[in-house]
């Protein structure tokens, strides 16, 4: 994949200083509370998507694309992939 570095930079900046904290900079695809955080704080609040089963489906597809066996999933990259998946690049 050739990422849109301009968009990735904007998504990374949007994550704020928390991405410099090792724990906060990573996403756990096996933690239900982490999935809730991604859905509620990023997809619904930031991307302005409506609550729907499609949100969880999109999250799962992004985790599969990133690689389920990859233990180190960077939050900024996951958010970037979700932004692309849902076609919300204009938010940034």
- pLDDT tens for residues 9-63? 999 999 999 888 888 899 989 899 999 999 999 999 999 999 999 999 999 999 9
Fold of 5-17+25-91: Recoverin; domain 1 (1.10.238)
pLDDT of residue 72: 83
pLDDT of residue 70: 85
Residue predicted with more confidence, 54 or 1: 54
Give the number of C-alpha atoms closer than 13 A to the C-alpha of residue 65, restricted to the C-beta side: 16
Q: Are 60 and 21 within 8 A, CB to CB?
A: no
What's the predicted TM-score (pTM) here?
Answer: 0.92
């Amino acid at each position: 994949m050739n990422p849109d570095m301009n968009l990735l930079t904007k998504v990374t900046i949007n994550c704020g200083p928390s991405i410099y904290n090792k724990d906060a900079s990573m996403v756990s695809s096996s933690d239900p509370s982490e999935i809730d955080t991604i859905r509620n704080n990023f997809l619904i609040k930031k991307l302005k998507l409506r609550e729907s089963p499609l949100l969880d489906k999109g999250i799962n597809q992004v985790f599969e694309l990133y690689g389920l066996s990859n233990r180190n999933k960077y939050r900024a990259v996951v958010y970037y992939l979700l932004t692309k998946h849902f076609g919300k690049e204009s938010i940034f």
